Structure 1
Amino acid sequence: MVDAKYLNHKLECPYCETIRLRIPEDVDPGTPISCEDCGQFLGIWDELLTDLEKQGGTDGVFRLDKGRIRKIG
């Protein structure tokens, strides 16, 4: 069971289980996004941003906790 206090889904790398995205400065909805730690492809920016919004990741207070984003408020 996934802990609902942590953001995950498409944001969390299935290979190294961290959330560290390599996002270029000129990102647009179709930009491919990779894991900063291991370099694996995670999805396009629009998919990842939509997933973040569905999890409430644009509203609240968060803390980076051991490579994962934890919602604290």
Structure 2
Amino acid sequence: MRTIFAEYNPQCNSIDVYTSAGYMLRIDCWEAEKDLKTTPGSDCVLNELAINEPLEYTRLYLDENLQM
């Protein structure tokens, strides 16, 4: 599955990933981050990553490396 692009959806607080096969994957940021151990600073970094680098956020989430 080849990714075309990803974007942050502020209405749903999610990352929407669109593929060349016509599929859309939606990652709920709240669900993805609810079990992480975070500080106020790391929360800001996660928010910045989701908004400005949604493909990187998606890659980290799918690889289960979001805590890092």
Which structure has more relative contact order (CA 8 Å, sep 6+)? It is 1
Same fold (TM over 0.5): no
TM-score, normalisation: structure 2:
0.29
TM-score, normalisation: structure 1:
0.28
